[in-house]
Chain A
Amino acid sequence: MKKLADLVIKLGNVDRRWIFIIIAIVVMYPLFKPLGLPIRPTESSQEVYAAIEALPEGSKVLLSCEYGPSTKPEIHPMAVGVLRHLFENGHQVYVTCLWPDGQFMAREALEQVAENEYNRTYGEDYVLLGFRPGNEAVIKGIVSDIRKMYTIDSRGIPIDDIPMMNGVKNILDLDFIFSASAGYPGTVEWVQLAADPTGIPMSTGVTSIQVNEVMPYVDAGQIKGILAGMPGAAEYEALLGKTGIATSGMDAQSIAHIVIVLFIIFGNIAFYLERQRSKKTF
């Protein structure tokens, strides 16, 4: 028994590089050999789906991309999923970016979905307005007068030359907002400065770490549902019936979480044994 306790205590102080190797293996294995674990759409993800589904055909939807390469695995599948849903239902999409890297992410998502999958026309079915500096001021500008904020789009085309911008003066001319957000400025600013004051319905997709901050708005009905982290993205893919990168990532995340929980339990057993031993020594 003493030998076992010694071994557990010794493993409790194992070099962290061993932990890194174990995590690397358990994360990589399901990516190469998917386990096909079932995805259970939560109520909040279903709410996002239902909100977009309820929009009448030809609605004007603003998609704001506030994420970059670091949070791409979590947020990008949401942006892609929402774009698929919007184009499937025949809506027009106006894309803005509050983060400079968001413009690159948005272009990639639009290229994948609008151009390659749905063959939509730029300027008629979708437009990438692009990034503007100013954080909250950009949102206020879009709420007040979109032309004062954007004179040209991301391709350098004057706003007035874009057919789908005809009749769009400010956010009141749009029907829905979706914020794909990884932090500040993002969802919270959109709900405080755009959705709530104007009454335009809004949904969001955020990183797991942001969910705590955004949940009160969802609970209060100010935001219609939330896609929470990679699980939220995978749930949306399941609701759309089109599996993608988020679904395959969930297997890896499942196993990684199990291993981390096992680490925590094992670490605590080692900690308990060590503490008992030090008590006896005194």
Chain B
Amino acid sequence: MFWKRQIPIAIVALIGTITLFGWFTDQPTIKSFVDDDATQWYDILASFAIFLGALNLLKLQMQKIIKQKSGWQYSIFAILGFLIAFTAGFLMRGAYTVDIKSAGETPQAVAQVLADETGKTVQESEIILGLIEAENSPMSLEKVHWRGKSVNDVANKLANSGAEVEIKPEDWGAHLTKKDSFFNWMFFKIFTPLSATMFALLAFLVASAAYRAFRIRNFEATLLLVSGIIIMLGRVPIGSKISSWFVLYILVLLVTIMVNTWKNSRILTFGTLGIGLLLVTIAGVSMGWPIDKPGFAYLPTLQDWIYLVPNIAGARAIMIGIGLGVFATSIRYIFGIERSYIGE
């Protein structure tokens, strides 16, 4: 019990205290621990956590298949995807190139093979070979081969034509992002389109949800809806094409609807509408109908105001709340009150 309970709590309390007070001290040992050692420990743990996460994913998906839970067929694809990505990342290099060191005694023959392999003309290939000889520096063929056999074939062809060649495998790690490597191909040709498609579907779901759920049910919902519309139109170029006078006329119409709902009097309703339209028209004529004046009715200006005033106020309130919450939780960890990490 001592090893499973008191020791972990003591470690968390000690490390938590040092890390917290590391911000308030210039003591070199503590500073070095917080800034360097603890950070590196975290990195090492994070690297292992990736493996644990992968193993956990496999375990859960396997369990789903074995127990044939709902949607277990999808788990087959998840495991297959994982295994293929694992193979491409850890077991299969998938990135080999051929270096030509010298054209040897028969540059014409080498140029012919080079032209066949690169799609360049024989003359261009001869120029390239000439440069290799002149500068005495090897040249890598641009084409990246996924398999050792394929790159061997090309190297053999060049070697048989008289060139001095070397097969150059990309370094492990760098093979992941090497252009045209197998892993890189998988990322751009499989993962990227799938991921982009999933995200793009949001546009359709948002449109559908807006149509069905964005309703004027009460004051708060109305406020949200109006702000949403202003932001949506004010953020895009078309919003700057909508005149502030058009917005003012819409405003008059909305006020009229509110008056009608509130008082249910025809005289008052038509009076509000008439006076409103008249005032906006007189103001418009006297100001010469500028598209962005008055600023409070111009959508881009309005959306800027929403972003900069109510939004920042709300966001700051949330941030302060989160900060206090994080601080309180940290203190609970340091004092050993919060012990969920040891399963209590």
The answer to whether B174 and A156 have CB atoms under 8 Å apart is yes
Q: Beta-carbon contacts of A208-225 to B below 8 Å, as 1s and 0s?
A: 100111011001000000
Q: Which of B232, B241, B316 contacts A37 (CB under 8 A)? A: B241
The answer to whether A267 and B43 have CB atoms under 8 Å apart is no
Interface residues of A (CB under 8 A from B): 16, 19-20, 22-24, 27, 37-40, 42-43, 68-73, 101, 103-104, 107, 111, 128, 130, 132-135, 137-138, 140-141, 143-145, 148-149, 152, 154-156, 208, 211-213, 215-216, 219, 228-229, 231, 234, 250-251, 253-261, 263-264, 266-268, 271-272
The distance from the CB of A143 to the nearest CB of chain B, in whole angstroms, is 7
Q: Which of A16, A27, A134, A143 contacts B46 (CB under 8 A)? A: A134
Q: How far is the CA of A140 from the CA of B43 in the complex (A)?
A: 11
The distance from the CB of A11 to the nearest CB of chain B, in whole angstroms, is 10
Q: Which residues of A contact B238 (CB under 8 A)?
A: 37, 254-255, 257-258
The answer to whether A133 and B50 have CB atoms under 8 Å apart is yes
Complex: chain A residue closest to B174, CB-CB: A156
List residues 1-55 of chain B with CB under 8 A from any CB of chain A.
Answer: 35-36, 39-40, 42-43, 46-47, 49-50
Complex: chain A residue closest to B199, CB-CB: A70
The answer to whether A24 and B204 have CB atoms under 8 Å apart is yes
Q: How far is the CA of A204 from the CA of B304 in the complex (A)?
A: 18
Q: How far is the CA of A29 from the CA of B73 in the complex (A)?
A: 37
Q: How far is the CA of A255 from the CA of B199 in the complex (A)?
A: 19
Contacts A216-B312, A260-B206 given: A133-B46 contact, CB under 8 Å?
yes
Complex: chain A residue closest to B241, CB-CB: A37
The answer to whether A208 and B171 have CB atoms under 8 Å apart is no
The answer to whether B232 and A137 have CB atoms under 8 Å apart is no
Which 6 pairs of residues, A with B, have the shortest CB-CB distance? A37-B237, A70-B199, A156-B171, A254-B238, A137-B42, A69-B192
List residues 169-188 of chain B with CB under 8 A from any CB of chain A.
Answer: 171-174, 176-177, 179, 184, 187-188
Q: How far is the CA of A255 from the CA of B316 in the complex (A)?
A: 32
Q: How far is the CA of A101 from the CA of B176 in the complex (A)?
A: 11
- What is the total of A-B residue contacts with beta carbons within 8 Å? 173
Contacts A19-B211, A104-B187, A257-B238 given: A144-B36 contact, CB under 8 Å?
yes
Jot down 28 A-B pairs with beta carbons below 8 A, ordered by A. Answer: A16-B208, A19-B207, A23-B204, A23-B207, A69-B192, A107-B177, A133-B50, A134-B42, A134-B46, A143-B35, A144-B35, A145-B35, A155-B174, A156-B171, A211-B307, A212-B315, A234-B237, A250-B236, A257-B232, A257-B233, A261-B229, A264-B228, A266-B211, A267-B210, A267-B215, A268-B214, A268-B215, A271-B215
Q: How far is the CA of A211 from the CA of B304 in the complex (A)?
A: 12
The answer to whether B304 and A42 have CB atoms under 8 Å apart is yes
Q: How far is the CA of A144 from the CA of B203 in the complex (A)?
A: 42
Complex: chain A residue closest to B170, CB-CB: A156
Q: Beta-carbon contacts of B330-342 to A below 8 Å, as 1s and 0s?
A: 0000000000000
Q: Which residues of A contact B174 (CB under 8 A)?
A: 154-156
The distance from the CB of A192 to the nearest CB of chain B, in whole angstroms, is 10
Contacts A104-B184, A137-B39, A267-B210 given: A70-B237 contact, CB under 8 Å?
no
The answer to whether B43 and A216 have CB atoms under 8 Å apart is no
The answer to whether A39 and B203 have CB atoms under 8 Å apart is no
Q: Beta-carbon contacts of B305-344 to A below 8 Å, as 1s and 0s?
A: 0011001101110010000000000000000000000000
Q: How far is the CA of A216 from the CA of B334 in the complex (A)?
A: 30
Q: How far is the CA of A145 from the CA of B196 in the complex (A)?
A: 36
Complex: chain B residue closest to A155, CB-CB: B174
The distance from the CB of B322 to the nearest CB of chain A, in whole angstroms, is 10
Q: Which of B35, B176, B214, B237 contacts A264 (CB under 8 A)? A: B214
Q: Which residues of B contact A71 (CB under 8 A)?
A: 199
Q: Which residues of A contact B207 (CB under 8 A)?
A: 19-20, 22-23, 256, 259-260, 263
The answer to whether A267 and B50 have CB atoms under 8 Å apart is no
Q: How far is the CA of A38 from the CA of B36 in the complex (A)?
A: 49
Q: Which residues of B contact A130 (CB under 8 A)?
A: 177
Q: Which of A42, A69, A141, A251 contacts B40 (CB under 8 A)? A: A141
Q: Which residues of A contact B177 (CB under 8 A)?
A: 103-104, 107, 128, 130, 154
The answer to whether B199 and A256 have CB atoms under 8 Å apart is no
> Does B195 lie at the interface of the complex (its beta carbon under 8 Å from any beta carbon of A)?
yes
Q: How far is the CA of A130 from the CA of B173 in the complex (A)?
A: 10
Q: How far is the CA of A70 from the CA of B35 in the complex (A)?
A: 33
Q: Which residues of B contact A69 (CB under 8 A)?
A: 191-193, 195-196
Q: Which residues of A contact B241 (CB under 8 A)?
A: 37-38
Interface contacts beyond A137-B43, A267-B212: sample of 12 additional A-B pairs, CB < 8 Å, sorted by A: A40-B237, A42-B300, A69-B193, A134-B39, A134-B46, A141-B39, A212-B311, A212-B315, A215-B308, A257-B235, A257-B238, A271-B215
List residues 235-293 of chain B with CB under 8 A from any CB of chain A.
Answer: 235-241
Q: Which residues of B contact A259 (CB under 8 A)?
A: 207
Q: Which residues of B contact A250 (CB under 8 A)?
A: 236-237
The distance from the CB of A148 to the nearest CB of chain B, in whole angstroms, is 6
